[in-house]
């Protein structure tokens, strides 16, 4: 897989990178599915963070790797969370007002907090975490959103 990815990047000089998301998160998967064709038209691929070559590329613990979505560029540089969203937003004309607002430090901090709030609760619904305790432990999470997890959910 890694060789074919590198070959694809080498063949397509306009390839802008991979948008990497949590493949175990229903919200993330739904958003990735909805935006896949639009992002592909802008030369941005989508892959789960759980992809083996992605894990090797970052060499991070599961907790750090799954903390936020990332944009991985062909040169190996990357951005994560709200910074990745801002970078992607430059390809959509209708995001222009928001892109101007992030230059204001207070708005940038607010956007970062909003992203973090959603990311921290992406597996929760109705105050209950949908991840089993073992998956949370592997990811280094002791609290998922607002609910402390003491048991496995079916």
Give Cα separations from 10 to 7, 14, 34, 119 (angstroms): 5, 9, 27, 33
CATH level 3 topology of 2-93: Glutaredoxin (3.40.30)
pLDDT tens sequence across 25-64: 888 999 999 999 999 999 999 999 999 999 999 988 888 8
| Averaged pLDDT for residues 74-86 | 93
Sign of the alpha-carbon torsion through 52, 58, 60, 64: negative
What's this model's pTM, rounded to 2 decimal places?
A: 0.72
What is the distance between the alpha carbons of residues 144 and 68, in angstroms, rounded to a whole number? 14
152 — pLDDT class (breaks 50, 70, 90): very low
Lowest mean pLDDT among 115-119, 136-140, 146-150: 146-150
Between these two residues, 144 and 23, which has the higher pLDDT value?
23
Q: At a CB cut-off of 8 Å and minimum separation 6, what does 103 contact? A: none
pLDDT tens sequence across 8-20: 444 555 888 999 9
What's the pLDDT score for residue 136?
A: 52
Does the pLDDT at position 65 exceed 50? Answer: yes
């Amino acid at each position: 897989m890694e060789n074919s990815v590198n070959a694809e990047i080498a063949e397509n000089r306009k390839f802008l990178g991979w948008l990497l998301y949590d493949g175990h998160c229903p919200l993330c998967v739904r958003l990735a599915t909805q935006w896949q064709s639009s992002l592909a038209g802008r030369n941005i691929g989508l892959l789960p963070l759980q992809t083996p070559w992605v894990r090797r590329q970052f060499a991070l613990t599961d907790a750090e790797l799954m903390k936020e979505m990332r944009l991985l560029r062909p040169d190996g540089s990357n951005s994560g969370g709200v910074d990745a969203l801002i970078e992607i937003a430059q390809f959509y004309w209708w995001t222009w007002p928001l892109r101007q607002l992030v230059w204001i430090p207070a708005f940038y901090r607010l956007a970062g907090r909003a992203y973090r709030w959603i990311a921290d609760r992406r597996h929760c619904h109705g105050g209950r975490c949908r991840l089993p305790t073992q998956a949370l432990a592997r990811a280094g999470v002791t609290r998922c959103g607002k609910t402390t997890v003491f048991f496995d959910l079916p």
